[in-house]
Structure 1
Amino acid sequence: MPQHAIPPQRLGRRIVGMSAVLLPFRTEAFEPSAAAAAIDWYGFESHLQRTAGAGLIPALNMDTGFGPQLDREVRIAVLERTVETIGTGEFVGGVVVVDRPGAPFDLDAYCREADEVVERGGTPIFFPSYGLTAGEDGDILARFERLAERYDTFLAFELGTMFAPFGRIFSLDLFCRLLAIPQCIGAKHSSLDRIAEWERLRLRDELRPDFRLLTGNDLAIDMVRWGSDYLLGLSTFHPEAFAQRDRWWLEQDSRVFRLDDLLQYLGAFAFRSPVPAYKHSAAMFLKLAGHLESDATFPGSPTRPSSDRPILAAILEDLEQLLGS
């Protein structure tokens, strides 16, 4: 078999979808320390209900929810609102530790954040930081092993440096060693590299088939065809469309390909450079759909031009037409 042979697609597979939930704001005219007062909590709770109601697992305090920019108290408030909104429903909570280059791994800080997620019934996903991703493979593995001593289940997160300077894509050897940690039940993979993800799928299938590989590739959402599940920011634009895509794949309905193509067109448009501005695209899209009153985002976040709105509106119209077919 060629070194980079394309694996077979898995038509009819049941896909597990996790969706990073956008945190909406009523206005951008506030100091970051006053974020809690500017959050559109009604819009957030409604969007959260739509996400869970569509059958996707909400993921809170991810990049889409401005988790790394929020104060700890606001991240906790997001978790509390989540439990109030979806009750005992399943959710994932981002565990964020902000540090600087050269900082040591701060186990206590990670545990303080993860405890807030676990105490509310969620599954923690450990964001990379300088301290977590520094050093050799053995150093990183030892840190995950220490986390495994504290938590029965958690998700790891491979993040390319194109997204954040403290990100790290693990070597295949380190990935295999993570598979041997039973408490690590899955990992989000955000390299934007199909081949790297296919290699992980092959190893997962050989070594630990129940391990959940979550594609974070918003530019290749069709990776689910080869066995990945997903944790995406793009799905926050239209959770119902992603849920329908997943059902049509399971049912082997040919409409899945048209829907996937349209969602990928939305992804290519929304996640163009500068990539972080996709959050403004999401807010625009949700406002156009009538789900939010404002398309404001966190202060200082990159924005999109107003000329994007008619394009997003056209994509929304096409999606609604296809979903109604």
Structure 2
Amino acid sequence: MAEPDVTARLRPRRAIVGMSAILLPQRPEGGTDWPAFEAHVVRTAAAGLTPAVNMDTGYVQLLDEDDKARVLDVTAAVTGGAFVAGAFVPDQPGDDFDRGAYLAAAGAIAGRGGVPVVFPSHGLNERDDDGWVDAMRELGAELDRFIGFELGPMFVPYGRIPGLDAYRALVEIPSCIGAKHSSLSRQLEWDRLALRDELRPEFSVFTGNDLAIDMVMYGSDYLLGLSTMAPAAFAARDRMWAAGDPGFHELNDLLQYLGHFTFRAPVPGYRHDAAIVFDLRGWATGDGTPAGAPRRPEGDRAVLADIVERLAPYEDGTT
């Protein structure tokens, strides 16, 4: 469904909806740094972005049920329910789609005022596109609102990008208010934007492409892990676009440099880079990561320190 001229898709001065996946900071000695987490939820909301918790950035795959519930409780208390969160079902290869577990996870989010993001799983990934759509419809029939999630296999082994016909069916589910698209492909996202505009203009396409954050110029909103490292800078960039300020492009270039550096292979290592940024900014007590999470080489610290320094004028309003 390639368009002949994607420049026709540009949407100047559009108000961008920004959602930021929140890093769950870890203490150097092990365990979650809960005060740092709460402070970052506050920081993100104060910047004007919607906090997105229990996502890949927040190590949702590694959390037990008590910690996932605590994340939701803290976030709901801070935001008054203005948040989204991953409805994650831990399962194993070969497992069937667990409708009950998904509804329980989504209910825990909705019950606190948030919007569930239907996180991929082995059970969902085992289905063909028609089966995937059936699962989304089953959930949509029980939920007042939810956000779909296409996540590529470069992020998780059970990731999958359904075909465009399946996406069309997702857009047509009334309770699905939008979908995060994380294929890291501009063309696939442009195809989804065109379909959205044709079928349901109010449906939100949330780019998850940390390697092409300028997709907001073409009509995407965003739900990114990258923005957890610089929520105020992302918010400043978004305001520039809405105002028609050409400074948008220079700030976007700097943020994209951060994205290309931190989201290089192996992609899950971006979470350690985020932890380094938190440490550099004084937002956490160190750059700890959970056991088994990939870590970056020490040389990343100098590069990240330079980027943080260059972002500062945008974040404090002096640029």
Give the TM bin, normalised by the shorter chain.
over 0.9
1:135 matched to which residue of 2? 127
* Corresponding position of 1:299: 291
Q: How does 1:1-325 map to 2 (within 5 A)?
A: 3-8=3-8, 9-29=10-30, 38-86=31-79, 88-323=80-315, 324-325=318-319
CA RMSD of aligned residues (A): 1.4
Identify the range of structure 1 (138-147 vs 242-251) with the bigger mean alpha-carbon deviation: 138-147
How far, CA to CA, are the matches of 2:62 and 2:283 in structure 1? 24
Tell me if structure 1 keeps the 8 A contact 2:236–2:314: no
- Conserved? CA contact 2:140–2:173, under 8 Å: yes
Structure 2, unaligned runs of 5 or more: none
| Deviation of 1:136 (Å) | 2.5
- Aligned residue for 1:32? none
Give the superposition deviation at 1:260.
Answer: 0.1
**2: CA distance between counterparts of 1:235 and 1:96?**
21
Report SS of the residue matched to 1:149. Answer: helix
8 Å Cα contact 2:164-2:192 kept in structure 1: yes
Q: CA deviation at 1:322?
A: 4.0
Asked whether the equivalents of residues 98 and 123 of structure 2 are also in contact (C-alpha less than 8 Å), the reply is: yes
What amino acid sits opposite 1:166 in the alignment? Y
Work out the CA distance in 2 between the residues paired with 1:297 and 1:209: 40
How far apart in 1 are the matches of 2:296 and 2:172?
A: 43
Shift of the alpha carbon at 1:127?
0.6
Q: Give TM-score, length-normalised by structure 2.
A: 0.96
**Any idea what SS the aligned residue of 1:174 has?**
helix
Q: Aligned-pair distance for 1:266? A: 0.5
Contact kept? 2:52, 2:83, Cα under 8 Å: yes
Q: TM-score, normalised by structure 1?
A: 0.94
User: Which residue identity does 1:5 align to in structure 2?
Assistant: D
- What SS does the aligned partner of 1:155 have? strand
Shift of 1:274: 1.4
State the identity %.
51
- Aligned amino acid, residue 139 of structure 1: G
Q: Is the 8 A contact 2:28 2:285 kept in 1?
A: no
**What code does the residue aligned with 2:170 have?**
L
- How far apart, in 1, do the equivalents of 2:311 and 2:95 lie? 46
8 A Cα contact 2:76 2:82, kept in partner:
no
Q: Aligned-pair distance for 1:321?
A: 2.7
SS in 1 for 2:6: coil
- Secondary structure of the residue that 2:150 maps to in structure 1? strand
The one-character-per-residue Cα deviations of 1:222-253 (angstroms, maximum 9, x if unpaired) are 00000000000000001000000000000011
Task: Give the C-alpha shift of residue 135 in structure 1.
Answer: 2.6
Secondary structure, counterpart of 1:186 in structure 2: strand
Residue 7 to residue 176, structure 1, CA distance change in 2 (3 Å)? farther
Question: Structure 1: which 5+ residue stretches go unaligned?
Answer: 30-37
Q: Any idea what the Cα deviations from partners look like across 1:7-51, whole Å, max 9, x if unmatched?
A: 42111000000000000011254xxxxxxxx21111011111000
- Residues 193-230 of structure 1: per-residue CA shift (max 9 Å, x gap): 00000000001001100000000000000000000000
- Alpha-carbon deviation of 1:2? 7.0
